[in-house]
Structure 1
Amino acid sequence: MLEKIKIFFSNFDFDIRKNNNARFMDQKVTPDVLCIIADCIINYIENYNDNIEFSSTDIWKYEYSNNNVKDIFGKTDVNNPNAKNEYDKFFQQPLKALANARILIERKDGNKIYFSILNKEILEYISIKEKHSLEFLNIYLEKVFRDSDIWNLFEDFFENNTKNKFDILKNKYENFIIANTPINGKTEVRRIFTKILNPLSFVRKKHGTSKGRFSKDIISKDELMYNRKNWRDTLKKKNETRDEHNIRVNTQKIRQDAYLNYSLNKAKNIIKKLHSPISEVQDSFANGEATQIHHIFMKSEYPQLSTFIENLILLTGTQHNAKAHPNNNTNIINKNYQLTCLLAKSESIEKYNTVYSKDDFLYVLKVGLDYEFSNNIEFSDLQNKLVDLYNDVS
């Protein structure tokens, strides 16, 4: 899929010196926000039609968006009049970036801006998981800067990942943006620069920027996110009252639960859209409509795998209740049928490789089986090795 994105981008010129677009990237365009906005768009058009035009207001007032965004990101209800400015930025900035990337088409009508979809396949890819949206941003930003003939500044910084090279990159980038876009002050450039440099740095395992300076450490994934997932930070802070601590921990728990519920429901919907009504396991129990989404490695034992689409499989009721969970006891797993599910899932992943991630499947296997496979393993070899492993443990 990454190669498809690159080929698609090759049809366009993103040179900032020509389009003078300062909003090719913005503060709210983070992997987690871009992913959920793409998901909201996909859900919106599926409720209407693929060719419908929509505004940012249409998306953020859509029930699916409201139900998920307000809980996950700690926002107020979309119908709250005081939330208009915040929601407008939260949705509009990713939409504008997607339009600049030609994933969406942007049309102005007076003071209103409307969007429609140009490349649904890439938009769906972005919507599936934050990992995909990060991959998209990495390819997109590099393309923008190559077309603008300033990628060499970034390359120089990544090759010589020092404070001195950071200062050179930052200064030259600020001057370039001010010279070629309507932005005329360094403060605004610097706000957006963090959202640009850090995803590129993370992918390359390099230092980036923190609080406007050269980062002390190599950039972590959490630093890229709008909704930084510090849910484990439950210790009472030094200057925090007991009531303040309880409120903060409770709020974090609500947001964590909302995020997990959203991620799991989205994962289940992806599986259903991809495979329904046919079971992924074609055996003698596959007759009838497949309606059950089954965790191959149980959610109760492996909560860290619960939202991975690579750990979910579509089964018929009989397969789920009689084979996967013998006698419909959801507290136990039939190991032999678990192998059957893994083999079937590997075939699905190989077939739908623009949706599933082989690397994520290998991670699921690493956690579930406590066995690490080579990233370069072929699917046929992987399937044979799974059979060997289960012959030892079943």
Structure 2
Amino acid sequence: MRLIDGEHLDTLLGERDFDIRKSHNARWIDQKCTPDVVTIIADCILEFLSDKEDDTIFTSMDIWHNDYTVQNVLDIFKKPSPKEKSARNEYDKFFQQPMGMFSYAGVLEKHKKGNRNFYKLSEKALLEEISLSERNALKFLIKYITKVLCDSDIYYLFEEFFRLQNKDAYNNLKRGFTSFTQAFTPINGDTEVWRIFIKVINPLAYSKNSAGTERGMLSKDLITYDMLMYNRDNFRDIYQRKPKGITRGSHVTPSLPRAKYIQYLTDKAMKNVKLINRFYNFGLSEVAGDDELATEAHHIFPRSDFPQIAYFLENLINLTPNQHRNHAHPNGNYSVIDREFQKICLIAKLGTIRKSIENNWGDYDFNNFLFVADTGYSTDIFSKIATFDYDNVISKINLI
């Protein structure tokens, strides 16, 4: 896996010529191509295709009329139902723009018939990785944007801005990007170009720990993660990784809309933990002793008792049906937890996390694991452990 961080994405992008002066494609990126939107559109596409052949042809309407999409877009992005006729134009943009970007990048393959766009998967594994998290979507966007700008021979304008970080360099970049876009694409108006400009400059600014653009001007401060999102004030406190030092009490019980989003995150995490295990562990159990395939994702600390950590990958472990139904939940009673096996699962998960971190797979977070352990055991001893002190974590688990 790790196609985004490894050579696969670099090779994929390197094999394509993204020069806008040749393609005249104004929609290589657009307003809705933010990390949070891109990752959920990737997830919705994969969910739509989950019971279909990989070469299935689909349209954006197929995706946004799928029940899974309807439920989650309503809950997450506070949109009207995709089934309402009045919402069609909004959903066309919401889905077409990221899908258009995916097709230009080579992740999807697009064919046009009349005025309709038809798609099929081209890079399933890469789309799966993008669907895992906003962080992955952002990494993809940064590499993709950089390659397009380099191929179009305008990256030097951005380099100059990031080097100088002043108003003159910002205005020069904005004018240059506007003139270039209007000269080589069908876009004529300044406002439309500037809306796209935001989605180009700010991911790069974030990656370089630099100022970018805000409210049409040079930002006063460095571009932060939340500034890149479509819903800047929506659920940031829930699904952004919790930094070490924040108490469990600060991670408050969410309101009903947020609870729905947590349910989406939990369902998605259960899918993703299986996907990660399939790539890195051949689909086997994370707990040694059973040679069957691990087809079930188990919450180490039950989600009914600990909803605040139900969506953490670090609280989910891949088990075989036998391990899940007879060891984790004795006699198949899902209301009962075997505490000794829970400890075994927790230590086994720590082993998976250690392997992920040491191999730079990037899917798990050590501090998230400490938060999970503190929450599940109703303590604060794990948050005091030094980063990557795995032996101390195991010692504390055994003591408890």
The alignment's TM-score, normalised by the length of structure 1, stands at 0.82
Cα distance, 1:23 vs. partner? 0.3
1:279 pairs with one of 285, 288, 291: 285
Structure 2 partner of 1:88: 92
- After superposing the two structures, state which structure 1 stretch, 311-320 or 21-30, moved more: 311-320
Partners of 2:72 and 2:174 lie apart in 1 by: 36
- Aligned to 2:120, the other structure's residue is in SS state strand
- 1:25–1:97 Cα contact (<8 Å) kept: yes
Structure 2 partner of 1:42: 46
- 2:328–2:341 Cα contact (<8 Å) kept: no
2:132 pairs with one of 128, 133, 139: 128
Cα distance, 1:338 vs. partner? 2.1
Alignment of structure 1 residues 1-394 onto 2, 5 Å: 1=3, 2-3=5-6, 4-230=8-234, 253-273=255-275, 275=277, 278-283=284-289, 286=290, 290=294, 292-296=296-300, 305-315=309-319, 316-317=323-324, 318-321=326-329, 328-329=336-337, 334-335=342-343, 337-347=345-355, 357=362, 360-367=364-371, 368=373, 369-370=382-383, 371-373=385-387, 385-391=389-395, 394=399
Q: 1:151 to 1:348 in 2, by over 3 A?
A: closer
- 1:73–1:255 Cα contact (<8 Å) kept: no
Cα distance, 1:288 vs. partner? 6.4
The alignment's TM-score, normalised by the length of structure 2, stands at 0.80
Q: 1:272 to 1:183 in 2, by over 3 A?
A: same
- 1:295–1:312 Cα contact (<8 Å) kept: yes
Cα distance, 1:364 vs. partner? 2.1
Partners of 2:263 and 2:161 lie apart in 1 by: 40
Equivalent position amino acid for 1:134 in 2: L
- 1:207–1:216 Cα contact (<8 Å) kept: yes
Structure 2 partner of 1:242: none
Instruction: Note the residue ranges of structure 2 that are not aligned, 5 or more in a row.
Output: 238-253, 374-381
Give per-residue Cα distances to partners, 1:85-113, cap 9 Å, x unaligned.
11111000111111111111110111211
- Aligned to 1:78, the other structure's residue is in SS state coil
- 2:59–2:117 Cα contact (<8 Å) kept: yes
Partners of 1:70 and 1:133 lie apart in 2 by: 21
Partners of 1:295 and 1:154 lie apart in 2 by: 45
Q: 1:336 to 1:388 in 2, by over 3 A?
A: farther
- 2:317–2:349 Cα contact (<8 Å) kept: yes
Cα distance, 1:302 vs. partner? 7.5
- 1:43–1:64 Cα contact (<8 Å) kept: yes
Equivalent position amino acid for 2:346 in 1: Q
- 1:127–1:133 Cα contact (<8 Å) kept: yes
Q: 1:172 to 1:348 in 2, by over 3 A?
A: closer
- 1:365–1:372 Cα contact (<8 Å) kept: no
Partners of 2:38 and 2:176 lie apart in 1 by: 27
Instruction: Note the residue ranges of structure 1 that are not aligned, 5 or more in a row.
Output: 234-251, 374-381
Give per-residue Cα distances to partners, 1:144-194, cap 9 Å, x unaligned.
001011111111111222222111111111111111111112111011111
Q: 1:115 to 1:290 in 2, by over 3 A?
A: closer
Structure 2 partner of 1:244: none
Report the aligned-residue RMSD: 3.1
Cα distance, 1:365 vs. partner? 3.7
Aligned length: 359
